[in-house]
C-alpha cells in the first residue's frame, strides 16, 4: 500500500482533547511539521499558554513550558535572551495575547525580540466556556455578551496584526486561516517562514495570526463554523502579510 | 579585590550577585532600588551577560521565569509595590520549582506609600503573597556588607532546593554607604545538575516546565512533595544570630535595619544594669523558632522591634508559645524607631515589680 500521509515525528500519537471542528489540532500539526522540516526538534522551546491549548506539550514533542495567562512574550524574552541559540515560540489564544497579555506582546514586539508568536484567533474564550474576547465580532453572542457585542458597550474587535505591524520591532506579521485545505497549506507556509526567519537570526519579532473555528462556543456545526469564519470573520480580520 | 570600598547597599548587592554567577537580570525601575537596575545595566553587558529593562514588574518576573527555565542563574529586584505585582509570577515559579532570586528593597506602604524605608512586607514575603501553598526562603541582611554576602547563599539555596529566594532589604540598607569587602564567598554546597532545564530535547526525552496538573491526586502529591522540601529547609537552613542571651531577662528580636537599632539599645540597657540580649533572624523563612524558644526558657519577656506595626511579632509569639510575654514596638510609613524610644520601652517593661502583660 502506498503511504500518502504520515504523522510527523514531533507530533505525539495520542487522542486529542480538542472539540470536533476545533482548529488547534491542525495548527499544532502545522507547527510540528514545520519544526521537523527545518530539523529543529532538538533545539526548540515552545510556550503553552493559558487557554484551551494549555496542554500543547501533550501533543508537541519538544521542550516546553507552560506560563501564566498572557505572560508568554515576557517568558519568551527570558528564554531567548538566555538561550539565543534555541528557537523559541509562544502559542497564544486571543484572550491570552490580545486581552490580559496585550502589554507583553506589545513590548516584546517593541523591543524587537527574536522569537516567534503563533496567535490563534477564534474570537472567543474557549476554556472558560465561551465569554467575549477582544477579537469577538460585533453582534456575536457570547456568555458575557448575551445580546451580542455592541461597539458602544464593548468596543470593536481588536486587530492585532494591524496594530503590531506599526512597530519597527516587528520583523514579520501575517494573518492566515485554517478554514479550508488551501488556507491550511498557506498557513503552513507562514508558520515555516516565521521559524525560518528566527533561524536566520533576523532582527525583530515574527507573528503569525491564525483565524481558527470554535464550533462549540460559536454554537455551530463544524462545517457552519468554517463557513462563518470564511464569510464573516475574514471581513473584519483580512488575511495577508502586514509586515516583512 | 581584597580591600574595603565605600559603596551603597544596592550596588554592593548587585556586584555580589554578579560574582555569585548571575547570568541574567530583568528589572523595572522603582525607588529606592534603582541603583541595582542601573548597576546591572552597566555591568552585565561588560560581563557578556543578559540585562533587560522590562516594561513592568509583571513582565520582569515572567522574564525571570523564562530565564530560570533555561537553567541560568537569574534575578530581579524591585521595591514593595513592584513586588506585589510579581506575586503571581512567584507563585508560578514556586509551582514549577524554578530557582530564582528576587530582591525586595522595602519602602513605605500600603499602596504607593512613599520611598522611605520600611519592613511592612514581612507578611507578604514569609506567608507567600501569591496563591497556593508555597514558601520562599527569605534572607534579611542588616548591613551593606551583608547585602553583598547573602547573595552567594541566595543563589546556591535557590539552585539547591529549586526555590525562590527573596532577599528582603529596605530603603536604608539600599541607599546607605558602608565600607564593604567584596569577595567571592564560597558556600561549598554541592549543587544538583539542572537536568530539568529547557535546553532542547536533542538526545533525551522532552522536558516540560509547568505548574498545572488537572488530576487531583497528582497535584496533591506534588503539593506533598513541596511540603516535604519545605520541612527539609526548615530543618537545615535557619540562620540567625544572638548576643548576651545567657543571662538576658529581656530579649529584643529584630531583623534588618531594625536590628541595628536594637544592638545599640541592648548595649545602652546593659550599661544601665538591665539584663538585655538580642536575637536577629537572618532567615525570616525558615524562621529561627527553635532559637527563640530556647531563649524563652530563660528570659522573662520579649520585645519585637520592627519598621512595621507588628508582623514578625506574630512569628515570635508562635515561637515563644506562651512561655513569656511578647511585646512589640515599631513604626512604619518610612519612620524608624529611635534608640531612645526603644530604650524607654525596655525600661518601662523592666520596671521593678511590674507584671509584664502583652501589648
pLDDT tens track for B215-254 = 999 999 999 999 999 999 999 999 999 999 999 999 999 9
Q: Which long-range contacts (CB under 8 A, 24 or more apart) does B259-264 make?
A: B259/B142, B260/B142, B260/B143, B261/B305, B261/B336, B261/B337, B261/B338, B261/B339, B261/B342, B262/B305, B262/B342, B264/B339
The confidence band for B183, taking pLDDT boundaries of 50, 70 and 90, is confident
pLDDT value for A142: 97
pLDDT tens track for A53-69 = 999 999 999 999 999 99
pLDDT value for A189: 98
Q: Are strands B137-139 and B283-285 parallel, antiparallel or unpaired?
A: antiparallel
Is the domain of B49 the same as that of B100? yes
Answer yes or no: do B70 and A74 touch at CB < 8 A: no
Structural domains counted in chain A: 1
State the helix-helix crossing angle for B256-271 and B339-349, rounded to 10 degrees: 60
Residue A119 in any domain: the answer is yes
Residue A126 in any domain: the answer is yes
Answer yes or no: do A66 and B63 touch at CB < 8 A: no
How far apart, in whole angstroms, are the C-alpha atoms of residue B62 and residue A73? 9
In chain B, residues with a C-beta closer than 8 Å to the C-beta of A86 are 70, 198-200
pLDDT at B354 over 70: no
pLDDT tens track for B48-87 = 999 999 999 999 999 999 999 999 999 999 999 999 999 9
pLDDT at B128 over 90: no
Question: Among all chains, which residue has been given the C-alpha cell 502506498?
Answer: A2
How far apart, in whole angstroms, are the C-alpha atoms of residue B313 and residue B311? 5
Structural domains counted in chain B: 2
Is the domain of B200 the same as that of B313? no
In chain A, residues with a C-beta closer than 8 Å to the C-beta of B92 are 67-68
Is the domain of B19 the same as that of B161? yes
Annotate B272-308 with DSSP letters as a single string. TT--EEEEEESEEES--HHHHHHHHTT-SEEEEEESS
Answer yes or no: do A79 and B201 touch at CB < 8 A: no
Q: Point out the residue among B58, B67, B212 whose CB comes nearest to the CB of A66.
A: B212
Q: Point out the residue among A63, A74, A80 whose CB comes nearest to the CB of B199.
A: A63
How much is the average pLDDT of A103-111? 98
pLDDT tens track for B311-326 = 999 999 999 999 999 9
Q: Which residue of chain A has the CA closest to B69?
A: A79
According to the 3-state scheme, what is the secondary structure of chain A? Answer: CCCCCCCCCCECCCCCCCCCCCCHHHHHHHHHHHHHHCCCHHHEEEEECCCHHHHHHHCECCEEEECCCCCHHHHHHHHHHHCCCCEEEEEEEHHHHHHHCHHHHHHHHHCCCCCEEEEEECCCECCCCCECCCCCCCCCCECCECCCCCHHHHCCCCCHHHHHCCCCCEEEEEEEECCCHHHHHHHHHHHHHHHHHHHCCCCCEEEEEEECCCHHHHCCCHHHHHHHHHHHHHHHCCCEEEEC
| A86 Cβ under 8 Å from any chain B Cβ | yes
Q: Which has the closest alpha carbon to B123: B163, B158, B83?
A: B83
Answer yes or no: do B66 and A78 touch at CB < 8 A: yes
Answer yes or no: do B199 and A77 touch at CB < 8 A: no
Residue A11 in any domain: the answer is no
pLDDT tens track for B256-307 = 999 999 999 999 999 999 999 999 999 999 999 999 999 999 999 999 999 9
Task: Name the CA radius of gyration of chain A, rounded.
Answer: 17
Across chain B, what does the average pLDDT equal? 96
| A190 Cβ under 8 Å from any chain B Cβ | no
pLDDT at A23 over 90: yes
Residue A4 in any domain: the answer is no
Answer yes or no: do A75 and B66 touch at CB < 8 A: yes
Answer yes or no: do B211 and A66 touch at CB < 8 A: yes
Question: Among all chains, which residue has been given the C-alpha cell 512533595?
Answer: B225
How much is the average pLDDT of B33-59? 98
Is the domain of B78 the same as that of B166? yes
Q: Which three cell numbers stand for residue B18?
A: 554578579
The residues near B264 (Cβ < 8 Å, ≥ 6 apart) are B339
Residue B354 in any domain: the answer is no
Q: Could you list the residue range(s) of the whole structural domain that residue A228 is in?
A: 24-243
Answer yes or no: do A79 and B69 touch at CB < 8 A: yes
Q: Point out the residue among A42, A61, A67 whose CB comes nearest to the CB of B62.
A: A67
Is the domain of B210 the same as that of B249? no
Answer yes or no: do A63 and B201 touch at CB < 8 A: yes
Residue B357 in any domain: the answer is no
Residue B359 in any domain: the answer is no
| A62 Cβ under 8 Å from any chain B Cβ | yes
Walk across the sheet containing A44-48 and list its strands: A240-243, A170-177, A205-211, A116-121, A87-93, A44-48, A63-66, B208-209
How far apart, in whole angstroms, are the C-alpha atoms of residue A104 and residue B56? 9
Q: Measure the CA dihedral A119/A120/A125/A130, to 10°.
A: 170
Is the domain of B33 the same as that of B83? yes
CATH no. for residue A203? 3.40.50.970
- Provide the shortest C-alpha distance from residue B209 to chain A (in Å): 5
- Cβ atoms of residues B240 and B208 within 8 Å: no
pLDDT at B353 over 90: no
Question: Among all chains, which residue has been given the C-alpha cell 511539521?
Answer: A33
- Cβ atoms of residues B120 and B162 within 8 Å: no
CATH no. for residue B267? 3.40.50.920
- Provide the shortest C-alpha distance from residue A77 to chain B (in Å): 6
Main-chain phi, psi angles of B44, to 5 degrees: -65, -45
- Report the run of H or E that residue B27 belongs to, with start and end: strand B24-27
pLDDT value for A85: 98
| A45 Cβ under 8 Å from any chain B Cβ | yes
Q: Which has the closest alpha carbon to B296: B312, B310, B317?
A: B317
pLDDT at B1 over 90: no
Task: Name the CA radius of gyration of chain B, rounded.
Answer: 21
Number of Cβ pairs < 8 A linking chain A and chain B? 137
Is the domain of B159 the same as that of B267? no
In chain B, residues with a C-beta closer than 8 Å to the C-beta of A63 are 198-201, 206-208
pLDDT at B134 over 70: yes
Residue B271 in any domain: the answer is yes
Answer yes or no: do A74 and B59 touch at CB < 8 A: yes
| B50 Cβ under 8 Å from any chain A Cβ | yes
Residue B64 in any domain: the answer is yes
pLDDT at B355 over 80: no
How far apart, in whole angstroms, are the C-alpha atoms of residue A133 and residue A160? 12
pLDDT at B184 over 90: no
In chain B, residues with a C-beta closer than 8 Å to the C-beta of A106 are 55
Tell me how crowded residue B65 is: count the other CB atoms within 10 A of its CB: 27
Q: Point out the residue among B55, B72, B92 whose CB comes nearest to the CB of A107.
A: B55
| B64 Cβ under 8 Å from any chain A Cβ | yes
Q: Point out the residue among A43, A64, A75 whose CB comes nearest to the CB of B208.
A: A64
How far apart, in whole angstroms, are the C-alpha atoms of residue B54 and residue B63? 8
- Provide the shortest C-alpha distance from residue B271 to chain A (in Å): 55
pLDDT value for B314: 98
Residue B225 in any domain: the answer is yes
CATH no. for residue B202? 3.40.50.970
Q: Which residue of chain B has the CA closest to A77?
A: B63
pLDDT at B348 over 90: yes
- Provide the shortest C-alpha distance from residue A41 to chain B (in Å): 7
Q: Which three cell numbers stand for residue B235?
A: 530543618
Q: Report the sign of the C-alpha dihedral through residues A38, A42, A48, A53, in that order.
A: positive
Q: Could you list the residue range(s) of the whole structural domain that residue B298 is in?
A: 240-349
Query: The whole model's pTM is what?
Result: 0.97
Across chain A, what does the average pLDDT equal? 97
The confidence band for B187, taking pLDDT boundaries of 50, 70 and 90, is confident
Is the domain of B145 the same as that of B162? yes
pLDDT at B356 over 90: no
Is the domain of B273 the same as that of B153? no
| A34 Cβ under 8 Å from any chain B Cβ | no
pLDDT value for A41: 98
Answer yes or no: do B209 and A66 touch at CB < 8 A: yes
Main-chain phi, psi angles of B23, to 5 degrees: -110, -20
| B90 Cβ under 8 Å from any chain A Cβ | no
Answer yes or no: do B206 and A74 touch at CB < 8 A: no
Is the domain of B259 the same as that of B174? no
Q: Which has the closest alpha carbon to B103: B115, B127, B116, B121?
A: B121
Answer yes or no: do A57 and B206 touch at CB < 8 A: yes
pLDDT tens track for A141-195 = 999 999 999 999 999 999 999 999 999 999 999 999 999 999 999 999 999 999 9
Main-chain phi, psi angles of B112, to 5 degrees: -70, -25
Residue A17 in any domain: the answer is no
The confidence band for B352, taking pLDDT boundaries of 50, 70 and 90, is confident
Q: Which residue of chain A has the CA closest to B72?
A: A82
Q: Point out the residue among B56, B68, B211 whose CB comes nearest to the CB of A103.
A: B56
Amino acid at each position: 500500500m502506498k503511504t500518502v500521509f504520515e504523522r510527523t515525528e514531533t507530533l505525539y500519537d495520542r487522542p486529542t482533547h480538542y472539540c470536533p471542528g476545533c482548529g488547534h489540532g491542525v495548527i499544532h500539526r502545522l507547527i510540528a511539521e514545520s519544526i521537523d522540516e527545518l530539523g529543529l526538534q532538538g533545539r526548540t522551546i515552545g510556550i503553552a499558554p493559558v487557554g484551551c491549548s494549555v496542554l500543547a506539550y501533550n501533543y508537541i514533542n519538544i521542550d516546553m513550558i507552560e506560563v501564566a495567562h498572557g505572560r508568554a512574550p515576557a517568558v519568551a524574552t527570558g528564554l531567548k535572551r538566555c538561550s539565543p541559540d534555541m528557537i523559541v515560540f509562544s502559542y497564544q489564544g486571543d484572550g491570552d495575547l490580545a486581552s490580559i497579555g496585550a502589554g507583553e506582546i506589545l513590548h516584546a514586539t517593541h523591543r524587537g525580540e527574536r522569537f516567534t508568536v503563533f496567535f490563534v484567533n477564534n474570537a472567543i474564550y474557549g476554556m472558560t466556556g465561551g465569554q467575549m474576547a477582544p477579537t469577538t465580532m460585533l453582534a456575536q453572542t457570547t456568555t458575557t455578551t448575551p445580546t451580542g457585542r455592541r461597539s458602544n458597550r464593548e468596543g470593536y474587535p481588536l486587530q492585532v496584526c494591524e496594530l503590531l505591524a506599526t512597530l519597527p520591532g516587528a520583523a514579520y506579521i501575517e494573518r492566515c486561516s485554517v478554514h479550508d485545505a488551501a488556507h491550511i497549506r498557506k498557513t503552513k507556509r507562514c508558520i515555516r517562514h516565521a521559524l525560518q526567519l528566527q533561524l536566520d537570526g533576523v532582527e525583530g519579532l515574527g507573528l503569525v495570526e491564525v483565524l481558527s473555528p470554535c464550533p462549540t462556543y460559536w454554537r455551530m456545526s463544524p462545517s457552519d463554523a468554517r463557513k462563518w469564519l470564511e464569510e464573516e470573520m475574514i471581513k473584519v480580520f483580512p488575511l495577508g502579510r502586514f509586515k516583512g | 579585590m581584597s580591600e574595603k570600598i565605600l559603596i551603597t547597599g544596592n550596588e554592593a548587592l548587585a556586584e555580589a550577585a554578579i560574582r555569585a554567577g548571575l547570568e541574567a537580570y530583568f528589572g523595572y525601575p522603582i525607588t529606592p532600588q534603582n541603583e541595582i537596575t542601573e548597576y546591572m545595566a552597566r555591568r552585565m553587558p561588560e560581563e557578556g551577560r543578559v540585562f533587560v529593562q522590562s516594561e513592568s514588574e509583571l513582565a520582569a518576573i515572567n522574564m525571570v521565569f523564562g530565564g530560570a527555565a533555561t537553567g541560568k542563574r537569574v534575578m530581579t529586584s524591585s521595591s514593595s509595590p513592584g513586588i506585589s505585582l510579581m506575586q503571581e509570577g512567584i507563585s508560578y515559579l514556586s509551582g514549577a520549582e524554578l530557582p530564582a532570586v528576587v530582591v525586595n528593597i522595602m519602602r513605605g506602604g500600603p499602596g504607593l506609600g512613599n520611598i522611605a524605608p520600611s519592613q511592612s512586607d514581612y507578611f507578604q514575603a514569609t506567608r507567600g503573597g501569591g496563591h497556593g501553598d508555597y514558601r520562599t526562603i527569605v534572607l534579611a541582611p542588616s548591613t551593606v556588607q551583608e547585602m553583598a554576602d547573602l547573595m552567594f547563599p541566595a543563589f546556591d539555596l535557590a539552585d539547591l532546593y529549586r526555590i525562590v529566594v527573596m532577599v528582603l532589604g529596605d530603603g536604608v540598607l539600599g541607599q546607605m554607604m558602608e565600607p564593604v569587602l567584596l569577595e567571592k564567598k564560597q558556600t561549598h554546597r554541592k549543587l544538583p545538575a539542572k537536568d530539568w532545564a529547557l535546553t532542547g530535547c536533542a538526545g533525551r526525552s522532552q522536558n516540560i516546565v509547568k505548574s498545572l496538573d488537572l488530576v487531583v491526586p497528582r497535584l496533591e502529591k506534588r503539593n506533598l512533595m513541596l511540603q516535604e522540601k519545605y520541612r527539609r529547609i526548615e530543618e537545615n537552613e535557619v540562620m540567625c544570630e544572638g548576643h548576651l542571651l545567657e543571662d538576658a531577662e529581656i530579649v529584643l528580636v529584630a531583623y534588618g535595619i531594625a536590628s541595628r537599632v536594637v544592638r545599640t539599645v541592648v548595649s545602652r540597657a546593659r550599661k544601665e544594669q538591665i539584663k538585655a540580649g538580642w536575637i536577629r533572624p537572618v532567615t525570616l523563612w525558615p524562621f529561627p523558632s527553635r532559637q527563640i524558644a530556647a531563649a524563652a526558657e530563660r528570659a522573662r519577656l520579649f520585645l519585637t522591634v520592627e519598621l512595621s506595626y507588628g508582623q514578625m511579632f506574630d512569628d515570635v509569639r508562635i515561637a515563644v508559645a506562651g512561655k513569656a510575654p511578647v511585646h512589640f514596638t515599631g513604626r512604619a510609613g518610612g519612620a524608624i524607631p529611635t534608640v531612645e524610644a526603644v530604650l524607654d520601652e525596655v525600661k518601662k517593661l523592666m520596671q521593678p515589680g511590674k507584671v509584664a502583660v502583652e501589648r
